[in-house]
Amino acid sequence: MNTKILSVDDDPAILRLLEMVLKNAGYEVYSTTSGEMVPSLIQTIQPSLIILDIELPDSNGIDLVQIIRQYTQAPIMMLSGKNSDIEKISSFHSGADDYVVKPFSVAELVARVQAILRRLGNPVSQQENAPVPVKERNIVIQLESDQHRVFIGSQELFLTQKEFHLLQLLLDEKGKVLSRELILDKIWGINNVEIETRAVDACISRLRKKVKSVLGHDVIEAVPGFGYRLTI
């Protein structure tokens, strides 16, 4: 079964281009120009990846990310005609996984899609199907890599693909300080000078809030000038 990708853009020419290059790369592509149609399409198609224009005539892409997260944790790649730090950071904070500026290189876009989906199918941990339990003050943090599910005690924690792999990396290297550059390479899979380390900081921020909401305290420590580490 082909991997399904949902493309959302108000420009039919962009949709045709994405459909052509992604189909040539072996993906099954569905397209729409309407943000309002996205929730129903997600439920019908169940895409593995969503490519989302940030400016739609009927929706704001950043706001739409938050709506999408109510239906799926599939990775989201944002498309934008603006090379704006504010939009990039807002996109990552809302739950997006990547940000591509128009006009984009077709080869680079396909490479990013492949990197995202490769990470989705091949988690950071080498023990892909084995749960990774970690005890923290008598609470067990367990990652089920084959199902991409996380439990803290008996409570399930709903993470995006990037957040899941980031937590898995921190658990695999617990106690060690991981640089932003290392995290960017391990989780995003390609060196992206546009995203740089802002994506890491945004993803860390979201993950910290989600874990803290269950544990009641931070277990991810920022080490100024170096990076982050798990303090379990």
**Which residue's entry shows tokens 């740089």?**
196
- Residue keyed to tokens 């995203």: 195
Q: Is the pLDDT of residue 38 over 90?
A: yes
Asked if residue 169 and residue 93 are part of one domain, the reply reads: no
- Write down the pTM of the prediction: 0.60
Position 213 in a domain: yes
Residue 99 phi, psi dihedral angles, 5° rounding: -145, 120
Here the CATH number for the domain that contains residue 20 is 3.40.50.2300
- 205 & 101 share domain: no
Question: Pick from 79, 101, 121: which residue ends a domain?
Answer: 121
Same domain, 107 and 53: yes
Q: Is residue 113 part of a domain?
A: yes
**Residue ending a domain, choose from 74, 94, 121:** 121
Residue ranges making up the domain that contains 30 = 4-121
Residue 127 in any domain: the answer is no
Looking at the structure, do residues 136 and 117 belong to the same domain, yes or no? Answer: no
Percent of residues in the chain assigned helix, strand, coil, to nearest 5: 40, 25, 35
Residues 112 and 164 in one domain: no
Q: Is 228 helix (H, G, I), strand (E, B) or coil?
A: strand
Instruction: Please list, in sequence order, all residues whose beta carbon lies within 8 angstroms of the beta carbon of residue 163, skipping any fewer than 6 positions away.
Output: 203, 206, 207, 210
Residue 128 has pLDDT above 70, yes or no: no
Mean pLDDT of 10-33: 92
Same domain assignment for residues 88 and 190: no
pLDDT at residue 125 in the model: 36
Cα 231 from Cα 125, distance rounded (Å): 19
Q: Check residue 43 and give its pLDDT.
A: 92
- Which has more confidence, 43 or 115? 43
CATH (domain of 149): 1.10.10.10
Task: Let me know if residue 37 belongs to a domain.
Answer: yes
Q: What's the pLDDT score for residue 22?
A: 92
Is the dihedral angle over the CA atoms 125, 132, 227, 75 positive or is it negative? positive
Assess if residue 38 is contained within a domain.
Answer: yes
Please state, for a pLDDT cut of 90, what percent of the chain lies above it: 26
Question: What is the rounded distance in angstroms from the CA atom of residue 104 to the CA atom of residue 122?
Answer: 26
pLDDT of residue 188: 76
Asked which of 121, 153, 182 is the last residue of a domain, the reply is: 121
Determine, yes or no, domain membership for 195.
yes
Q: For residue 126, is it within any domain? A: no
φ and ψ at 75, to 5 degrees?
-60, 150
Q: How many domains does the chain have?
A: 2
Q: Is residue 46 part of a domain?
A: yes
| Shared-domain flag, residues 9 and 39 | yes
